Structure 1
Amino acid sequence: MDTPPLVEEQIRRAVLAALEGEGVEVPCVVEVCVTDDAGIRQTNLDMRGVDRPTDVLSFPMFELSPGEKPQADWADPDTGKVLLGDMMISLERTRAQAAEYGHSPEREVCYLAVHSVLHLLGYDHLDEGPMKAQMRAREEAILGGLGIQREASDAD
């Protein structure tokens, strides 16, 4: 799938903002695949046994805890960068969710990219309590730094 250059730039900005917002000081690589619902559905089925499309999938290279940082000695000796992991975003689902939630596609794609980077850095939202609240707070702080505020219609 060809990714529009504007979307590539939005994802790049969001990934860099998330890394900076989490205080990651070593150079990192996050591999990003932008696809459609069919592509992400197949990956979701292959990797997680879930036969449905989703908005974003994250595949961390390391098992980190929230707040834990990648270390320089984890870097690939050829590049000097740490491969943090992979993310896959369904652009089709992103656009549909933006319309459903009443906000811009830019906000949604940036949110999903930040959300994914936080997963790569060990955050999770398996519970509806403290873990989810911690992740949401970090997402909103990072998006706020990008000038992307949560709109009233976005409230949970």
Structure 2
Amino acid sequence: MNHEIIIESELDGGTGPWEALLQRVIPAALEAEGVCVPCEVDVLLTDDRGIHEINLEQRGVDRPTDVLSFPMFEFTPGIPPKAETAEKDPDTGLLPLGDMVLSVERAAAQGEEYGHGAEREMAYLAVHSILHLLGYDHMDDGPQRARMRGREEAILNALGITRG
């Protein structure tokens, strides 16, 4: 599938080593979820200050976080968009799934804290965000959260990106 993953960076080092990882992980997550419509996903790499500003501006939450997801459409978890009903951009022919913002600074700190490293944490956050763009949620402590966590781990394990 020819998805377009657009990665921009506010960091001094640019997209650095993260671009190749994200270009592998994001399409794999879409494929694992059965997305057969060519999609566009916009990714912004930033630091804690940058994500804090976006979190405050967009959500009214006055603190940094690790990842933010801004879906363009509402989907039902586990039911991928269909080619015949997808609202594709007429200029590109792609379904604009939405935006993700990743704090590289927070991913590195959490990767160290959890003992599995920054690369695994960045991959996890990207998969987590894709699932949000596809309608998954984890705001409860029940079945929705468990389903989302299960999908995250299944996708990462299929990629060979495991915990430690």
Match of 2:90 in 1: 77
Matches within 5 A, 1:99-138: 99-138=112-151
Q: 2:63 aligns with which of 52, 55, 58?
A: 52
Q: Normalising by structure 1, what TM-score?
A: 0.93
Higher normalized helix content (fraction of residues): 1
SS at match of 1:94: helix
Q: Is the 8 A contact 1:140 1:150 kept in 2?
A: no
Helix, strand or coil at the partner of 1:46: helix
Counterpart pick for 2:26 among 15, 24, 38: 15
Equivalent residues of 2:15, 2:45 under 8 A apart: no
Structure 2: 5+ residue runs without aligned partners?
Answer: 1-10
Query: How much is the aligned-residue C-alpha RMSD, in angstroms?
Result: 1.1
Provide the C-alpha distance between the structure 2 equivalents of 1:4 and 1:79, rounded to a whole number of angstroms.
24
* Distance in 2 between residues matched to 1:39 and 1:70, nearest whole Å: 31
Which consecutive unaligned segments of at least 5 residues does structure 1 have?
Answer: 152-156
Residues 128-148 of structure 1 show CA distances to partners (whole Å, capped at 9, x for unaligned) of 110110000000110011101
C-alpha contact (below 8 Å) 1:40/1:90 kept by paired residues? yes
**Alignment partner of 2:102: what SS?**
strand
Query: Residues 90-140 of structure 1: CA distance to partner in whole angstroms, max 9, x if unpaired?
Result: 000000000110112110000000000000000000111101100000001
Which stretches of structure 1, 4 residues or longer, exceed 4 Å deviation after superposition? Answer: none
Aligned residues: 151
Matches of 2:16 and 2:60 in 1, distance apart? Answer: 32
- Counterpart Cα distance in 2 of 1:6 and 1:135: 27
Encode CA deviations 1:60-110: one digit per residue, 9 max, x unaligned.
000111012223341111111000000000000000000110112110000
SS of residue matched to 1:5: coil
